[in-house]
């Protein structure tokens, strides 16, 4: 019986094949490193824990990294600086903010726009126990809601926090009183103006809304325009 020798054909060697270990491992290593680099450069909210070094005022802090952070969605009364006099509850807002975050670890959560025109980071700030600092200042009546597109991730939560403080008459809203007056609001920007303001006159009629008081405008989520309203608080808040 004759034995027939059968030739076995080996697969053709391809130096670019992923099965070629000499080629694939270095490339795979580079690929994985690239993914890690992308993950590091694009911070996710869970990665942005920092410690607060300094509290500038009610809505601005400085981290240990030197990074300045402005709270998204709120505005607190001013403290005295340069030629600006302190506004009612300005120092109370700063003290409350300091009590909440000074020397503590905070998590920064960003929205569409990460920086403002002054170079400050814009963020929602959370403590380790999940306290939402932005909302807490509103709940205490030491800030008002400030709508600003496109950063509107927590708009409903923040406005509700303000409304609850207004109903409970806390902080800014405690001794509120004002003379009835017509104000003109812009549905697009969520700002309100005094009647006769040149900026109010430029509002598209489709976006124009009238308020009989500052209180009503605030409650519906509108903020005062700094271009024409210097004293936004009620007549009784400074008492």
3-class DSSP state for residue 139?
A: helix
Residue 79: is it exposed, middle or buried by C-beta count within 10 angstroms (0-12/13-18/19+)?
middle
Alpha-carbon distance 55 to 49, whole Å? 17
Alpha-carbon distance 132 to 135, whole Å? 6
Q: Which residue in this structure is represented by tokens 């709508």?
A: 147
Alpha-carbon distance 173 to 226, whole Å? 19
- Point out the catalytic residue in the list 107, 120, 148, 191: 120
120 part of the active site: yes
- Point out the catalytic residue in the list 12, 42, 53, 78: 78
Q: Which residue in this structure is represented by tokens 């597109």?
A: 149
Alpha-carbon distance 40 to 72, whole Å? 24
51 part of the active site: no
The answer to whether the Cα torsion of 203, 208, 213, 217 is positive or negative is: negative
Long-range contacts formed by 8-16: CB under 8 A, 24+ apart: none
Which residues pair with residue 194 across a beta bridge?
A: 183
Alpha-carbon distance 238 to 92, whole Å? 12
70 part of the active site: yes
- Point out the catalytic residue in the list 70, 107, 136, 148: 70
Q: How many CA atoms lie within 13 A of 234 on its CB side?
A: 24
Active-site positions?
70, 78, 120
């Amino acid at each position: 019986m004759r034995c027939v020798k059968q030739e076995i054909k080996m697969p053709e060697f391809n130096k670019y094949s992923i099965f070629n270990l000499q080629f694939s491992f270095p490339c795979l290593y580079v690929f994985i490193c690239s993914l890690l680099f992308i993950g590091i450069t694009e911070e996710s909210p869970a990665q942005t824990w920092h410690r607060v070094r300094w509290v500038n005022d009610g809505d601005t802090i400085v981290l240990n990294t030197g990074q300045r952070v402005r709270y998204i969605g709120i505005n607190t009364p001013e403290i005295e600086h340069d030629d600006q006099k302190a506004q009612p509850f300005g120092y109370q807002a700063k003290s409350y903010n300091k009590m909440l975050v000074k020397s503590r670890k905070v998590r920064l959560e960003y929205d569409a726009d990460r920086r403002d025109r002054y170079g400050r980071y814009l963020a929602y700030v959370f403590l380790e126990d999940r306290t939402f600092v932005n909302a807490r200042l509103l709940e205490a009546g030491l800030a008002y809601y400030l709508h600003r597109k496109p950063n509107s991730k927590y708009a409903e939560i923040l406005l509700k926090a303000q409304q609850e403080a207004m109903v409970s008459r806390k902080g800014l809203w405690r001794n509120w009183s004002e003379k009835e007056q017509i104000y003109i609001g812009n549905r697009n920007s969520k700002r309100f103006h005094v009647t006769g303001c040149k900026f109010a006159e430029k509002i598209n009629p489709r976006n124009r809304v009238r308020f009989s008081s500052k209180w009503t405008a605030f409650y519906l989520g509108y903020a005062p325009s700094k271009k024409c309203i210097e004293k936004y608080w009620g007549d009784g808040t400074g008492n």
